[in-house]
């Protein structure tokens, strides 16, 4: 279903972005156990202050890092960012034409690019967890890290961002230029994120938080062993709908000569 020659070329084409991006994610994620340890030390120095809030446990601290705006940007670049420019970018540069002149069906090309997006999602999730473990070791808090929950956190992270990667390929296959595909995908992610953030402190929006996909992604629950299967189902359904659209629309599109 996927073409390995094309897949290798895609990875090669994105190797710098992937390499640098993943390194930044590792560095970023290792900060959170260190921050956690610093907060704990600070609280120990101030025994009068209650130990609540986002930095009260290592799991909560890691969770903050997972859905921090910087993380959203990094994760987005390394998952949806790979797919959103895949087809439309090749089309805009004029290289899609030669690719399509090879004996590859459009579905094969699409599937290969989609797999690359999912690989990016899996890698970025892995990098975050790897950085977290590294940070926990640096901070000396590995005893508080629920190692047995890390695979499920990785899987959910990969699924969550793989879903956005699928939306990215769906928009990419629907347009001849990267700008509208990028705009729609970024707007979709931003909309979901803003609903979740605003709903957390504004009562009017709070009832609609469930509409945000971010509302269903709760790393702290995953790390604390409270796995919500419905979240995976939601992410899977959204990804499936996006994939169906992509596999429907791209093979049927007329690809006129690039401008």
- Binders of other proteins among residues 73 to 102 (CB under 8 A) are 93-95, 97-102
Tell me the closest approach of the beta carbon of residue 110 to other proteins, in angstroms: 14
Residue 257 found at the interface with other proteins (CB under 8 A): yes
When the beta carbons of 14 and 216 are compared against other proteins, the nearer one is: 14
- Give the residue with the Cβ less far from other proteins, 97 or 206: 97
**249 makes contact with other proteins (CB under 8 A):** no
The residues in 197-216 that bind other proteins, with binding defined as CB under 8 A, are none
Contacting residue, 24, 43, 104, 198, with other proteins by CB under 8 A: 104
CB of 195 to other proteins, least distance (A): 34
Please report how the helices 4-13 and 15-45 are oriented relative to each other, as an axis angle in degrees rounded to 10. 60
Residues 3-62 that bind other proteins (CB under 8 A): 3, 5-6, 9, 12-13
Site for other proteins contains 1 (CB under 8 A): no
Min separation Cβ 105 and other proteins, Å: 5
Among positions 19, 23, 51, 105, the unique one binding other proteins when judged by CB under 8 A: 105
Q: Which residues bind other proteins (CB under 8 A)?
A: 3, 5-6, 9, 12-13, 93-95, 97-105, 252, 254-258
């Amino acid at each position: 279903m996927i073409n390995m020659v094309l897949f290798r070329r895609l990875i090669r084409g994105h190797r710098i972005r992937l390499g640098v991006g993943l390194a930044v994610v590792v560095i970023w994620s290792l900060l959170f156990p260190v921050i956690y340890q610093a907060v704990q030390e600070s609280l120990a120095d101030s025994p009068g202050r209650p130990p609540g809030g986002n930095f009260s446990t290592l799991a909560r601290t890691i969770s903050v890092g997972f859905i921090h705006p910087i993380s959203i940007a990094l994760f987005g670049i390394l998952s949806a960012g790979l797919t959103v420019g895949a087809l439309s970018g090749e089309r805009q540069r004029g290289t899609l034409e030669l690719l399509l002149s090879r004996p590859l069906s459009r579905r094969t090309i699409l599937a290969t690019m989609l797999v690359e997006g999912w690989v990016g999602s899996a890698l970025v999730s892995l990098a975050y967890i790897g950085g977290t473990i590294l940070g926990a070791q640096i901070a000396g808090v590995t005893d508080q890290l629920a190692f047995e929950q890390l695979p499920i956190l990785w899987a959910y992270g990969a699924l969550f961002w793989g879903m956005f990667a699928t939306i990215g390929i769906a928009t990419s296959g629907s347009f001849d230029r990267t700008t509208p595909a990028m705009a729609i995908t970024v707007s979709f992610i931003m909309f979901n994120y803003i609903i979740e953030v605003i709903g957390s402190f504004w009562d009017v929006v709070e009832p609609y938080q469930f509409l945000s996909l971010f509302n269903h992604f709760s790393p702290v629950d995953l790390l604390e062993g409270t796995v919500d299967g419905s979240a995976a189902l939601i992410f899977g359904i959204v990804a499936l709908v996006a994939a169906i659209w992509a596999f429907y629309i791209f093979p049927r599109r007329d690809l006129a000569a690039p401008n």
